[in-house]
Amino acid sequence: MLRTPSGGAGNGTAAADSGLMSIGSVLNALRDEFPEVTISKIRFLESEGLIEPRRTPSGYRKFSADDVERLGHVLRMQRDHYLPLKVIREYLDALERGEPVRLPTVGRQRDSAEGELFAEPEVHSAARVGRAELLAAAEIGERELQEWESYGLIAPLQDGAYDAEAVTVAALVVELGRFGIEPRHLRAMKAAAERDAGLVDQVVAPLRRHRNPQTRAHAEARTKELAGLTVKLHAALVQTALGVRLP
């Protein structure tokens, strides 16, 4: 079980309540794996319906072991899969109902098993997130998103929604911002990415124009392969330039 439903304090025994944790204790329990987690973050996840801690008569939050476990699942899915909170909530709720569900894929995934920076990108043409979902997933305000759009880091689609990769970009921009790297500093990365994309496009363009349908279909697979190699090369070059190696 991932979550224990919240309950009233009227009939609870002292023995049962002794197993509950304050929000500060939860923060300490999570910080080893999630050093960036904050009390504000936990409260935000509660407001979004991801967790439902008990409340004392005085209004203090009390978390069960199931609440902490569910919090870990949420933070892990945000960190490793960059999933919007709505998607995470629906996935975990389906698990609790005993429904056979697969981990949703929205955006780029971390590949911890292979020890690489990122797995090869997957194209999910049907994946869309609304503006409100993007703001919630990145935990930013309208002003920040407008700034990112002004620098070309994120751009809406024609229908005003955003593709899945926007979630990944938003999460990374937020993470870099915690180290003092501002969106304006990322314009060079954006320009480099566009040059890399142009190079890949030059290679696959003849395949896309080919008269054979099978050859044209092969262009998408080749694009994925080249994009993955480009990401890995960029990561290796950055590590080499800094003289470090990521775990």
The residues, any chain, with a CB within 8 Å of residue 75's CB and separated by 6 or more, are 30, 33, 34, 37
20 located within any domain: yes
Domain residues for the domain of 145 are 128-242
pLDDT band at 227 (very low <50, low <70, confident <90, very high): confident
pTM attached to this predicted model: 0.48
116 located within any domain: no
The residues, any chain, with a CB within 8 Å of residue 60's CB and separated by 6 or more, are 22
Convert the pLDDT of each residue in 82-93 to its tens digit.
Answer: 777 888 888 888
Residues 71 and 137 in one domain: no
Residues 137 and 229 in one domain: yes
User: CA dihedral in degrees (107, 110, 116, 118; nearest 10)?
Assistant: 10
Name the residue among 190, 159, 193 with its Cα closest to residue 173.
Answer: 190
The reported pLDDT for the residue numbered 63 is 93
Residues 156 and 201 in one domain: yes
Q: How many distinct structural domains can be found in the chain?
A: 2
Regarding predicted confidence, which is higher, 14 or 226? 226
200 located within any domain: yes
Convert the pLDDT of each residue in 115-149 to its tens digit.
Answer: 333 333 333 334 678 888 888 877 788 999 999 99
Domain boundary among 76, 96, 116: 96
Q: What is the spatial distance between Cα 54 and Cα 61, in angstroms, rounded to a whole number?
A: 6
Residues 133 and 211 in one domain: yes
pLDDT band at 197 (very low <50, low <70, confident <90, very high): confident
Q: Residue 154 maps to which CATH number?
A: 1.10.1660
The reported pLDDT for the residue numbered 107 is 45
Give the least confident one: 3-12, 38-47, 60-69, 161-170.
Answer: 3-12
Residues 205 and 150 in one domain: yes
Convert the pLDDT of each residue in 200-226 to its tens digit.
Answer: 888 888 887 877 777 777 888 888 888
Dihedral sign, Cα of residue 162, residue 167, residue 169, residue 175: positive
Give the least confident one: 66-70, 102-106, 230-234.
Answer: 102-106
> How far is C-alpha 6 from the geometric centre of its chain's CA atoms?
27
Mean pLDDT of 182-208: 87
Q: Residue 70 maps to which CATH number?
A: 1.10.1660.10
Domain boundary among 73, 96, 119: 96
Convert the pLDDT of each residue in 40-93 to its tens digit.
Answer: 888 888 888 889 999 888 888 899 999 999 999 898 888 887 777 888 888 888
Residues 132 and 236 in one domain: yes
CA 218, 221, 222 angle in degrees (round to 5)?
85
Given a contact cutoff of 8 angstroms between Cβ atoms, the answer to whether 87 and 104 are in contact is yes
One DSSP character per residue, the chain reads ---PPP--SSS--HHHHTT-B-HHHHHHHHTTT-TT--HHHHHHHHHTTS---EE-TT--EEB-HHHHHHHHHHHHHHHHH---HHHHHHHHHHHHTT---PPP--S---BTTTTBS-PPP---TT-EE-HHHHHHHHT--HHHHHHHHHTTSS---TTS-EEHHHHHHHHHHHHHHTTT--GGGGHHHHHHHHHHHHHHHHHHHHHHT-SSHHHHHHHHHHHHHHHHHHHHHHHHHHHHHHT----
Dihedral sign, Cα of residue 92, residue 94, residue 97, residue 98: negative
